[in-house]
Amino acid sequence: MNNIYNFTRKQLEEKLVCMNEKPFRATQIFEWLYRKNVKSFDEMTNIKKETIDQLKKEFDINRLFIEKEQISKDGTRKYLFRLSDGNFVETVLMCHEYGLSVCVSTQVGCNMGCAFCASGLNKKQRNLEVFEMVLQIQMINDILNKENKRVSHVVVMGIGEPFDNYDNLLSFLRIINDAKGLEIGSRHITVSTCGIVPKIIEYSDFELQVNLAISLHFANDEKRSKYMKINNAYNISELMDSIKYYYSKTNRRITFEYILLKDINDSWEDAKQLIKLIKGINCYVNLIPMNSTINEFTRSTEEKMNTFYKMLINNKVNVTLRKEQGHDIDAACGQLRIKQMQGAVCKD
Ligand code: SAH
């Protein structure tokens, strides 16, 4: 049966019309699901019994199961959700001055194979369905409700490549942005991709003003191809062309993410190449301290990170050096899921 959280309001309206129901019921149902956070159709008290029975026949309303919750000293919380097929998905909640931000996963595992990333150590098992993405936020809202708080920001930067699960991503974005849905402002949402060029081009026509971030990490093809497989399919010049196209269509400033990896991409020369590459592009650069993972990469020294940062500042680049959160709870993508799976292997 189809999960009710899979549907955008428009899709639900169409479905209800097919069921001989009034389309406005979709708005009522959305309010119950996303505002009042009900767990069953029976709680939807302004809908008549016969319709409720019909809804129960058409849709299931199952949620995710919380397998594990970890709370960091800095307030970051990490959740491991179990899906109905036994797979696991990770979601992180970060507390910022400007609000509460959730980092959503889009796939079980990832096929992009970036060498420094824990998410890709396990190949993609499958795409997440829309409801499995929406509910990562809604399950956390459930917990936050008790503290009179709500998720205000979403970053699609968890496990998986969002543009490799494109159609579900768009429905997810429509639902969380909907004024009758989770009502998360489009400028409070950021989607991050490692650079699937045809999808960046397609995404330029998406109707919502959602932010786009590109995991660049390297400013020359030789290095990028060595550590990020995607660069063999779409090189830096093709990537930059697609970004310029995206900007020409949307007028939205892009964010480049750049993880600082010790002795790999943190030299003066690397900074110079980066400055040259992004010259003239309306962008932010987000420098990210490498999160320790279970592979051979380590983070740059404080000194190197600061020098890199200053060099960009001096060249008038809009840049931030991201503060790391949740270090004590394995908040880096993929780590918790990997531990759970290793645990499962050991137990067998
Ligand atoms: N596949 C998408 C979204 C998931 S990764 C993408 O590539 O953008 C989210 C971000 O975390 C990416 O910028 C990714 O490169 C970065 N990341 C991966 N491994 C990391 C690590 N060990 N430390 C810090 N950031 C990491």
Give DSSP secondary structure letters for 43-97. Answer: G-TTS-HHHHHHHHHHEE----EEEEEEE-TTS-EEEEEEPTTS-EEEEEEEEET
Secondary structure of residue 212 in the 3-state scheme: strand
Whose C-alpha lies nearest to ligand 1, atom 18? 117
CA 248, chain centre distance (Å): 24
List 103, 117, 194, 333, catalytic entry: 333
Residue 294's pLDDT band, with cuts at 50, 70 and 90, is low
Q: Which long-range contacts (CB under 8 A, 24 or more apart) does 207-212 make?
A: 208/173, 208/174, 208/177, 209/250, 209/252, 210/173, 210/177, 210/186, 211/187, 211/252, 211/255, 212/246, 212/252, 212/254, 212/255
Mean of pLDDT values over 203-225 = 97
Strands (E), the chain: 2-3, 59-60, 65-71, 77-82, 88-96, 99-103, 107-108, 126-127, 153-156, 189-193, 211-215, 254-260, 283-289, 318-321
Whose C-alpha lies nearest to ligand 1, atom 17? 117
State if residue 112 touches ligand 1 by the CB under 6 angstroms criterion.
yes
Residue 80 phi, psi (nearest 5): -110, 115
- Of residues 336 and 253, which shows the higher confidence score? 253
pLDDT tens readout for residues 296-336? 788 899 999 999 999 999 999 999 997 666 666 655 555 55
Residues 157 and 213: their CA atoms lie apart, in Å, by 9
pLDDT tens readout for residues 125-168? 999 999 999 999 999 999 999 999 999 999 999 999 999 999 99
Placement of tokens 């990469």 in the chain? 297
State if residue 116 touches ligand 1 by the CB under 6 angstroms criterion.
yes
324 a catalytic residue? no
State if residue 214 touches ligand 1 by the CB under 6 angstroms criterion.
no
Q: How far is the CA of 107 from the centre of ligand 1 (A)?
A: 14
pLDDT number for residue 327? 64
Query: Which pTM was predicted?
Result: 0.93
Mean of pLDDT values over 199-211 = 97
pLDDT number for residue 345? 31
Q: How far is the CA of 81 from the centre of ligand 1 (A)?
A: 20
Q: Give residue 60's region: left, alpha or beta (phi > 0; psi -120 to 50).
A: beta
CA 89, chain centre distance (Å): 12
pLDDT tens readout for residues 59-89? 999 999 999 999 988 888 999 999 999 999 9
Q: Which of 215, 261, 323 to mutate to test the pocket of ligand 1 (most atoms within 8 A of CB)?
A: 215
State if residue 200 touches ligand 1 by the CB under 6 angstroms criterion.
no
Whose C-alpha lies nearest to ligand 1, atom 12? 215
90 a catalytic residue? yes
Q: How far is the CA of 216 from the centre of ligand 1 (A)?
A: 10
Taking the CA of residue 159 as reference, the ligand 1 atom at the shortest distance is 4
Residues in the chain: 348
Residues 319 and 284: their CA atoms lie apart, in Å, by 6
State if residue 129 touches ligand 1 by the CB under 6 angstroms criterion.
no
pLDDT number for residue 326? 65
State if residue 90 touches ligand 1 by the CB under 6 angstroms criterion.
no
User: Quick check: 344 pLDDT over 60?
Assistant: no
Residue 118's pLDDT band, with cuts at 50, 70 and 90, is confident
Q: Give residue 334's region: left, alpha or beta (phi > 0; psi -120 to 50).
A: left
pLDDT tens readout for residues 159-198? 999 999 999 999 999 999 999 999 999 999 999 999 999 9
Q: How far is the CA of 289 from the centre of ligand 1 (A)?
A: 11
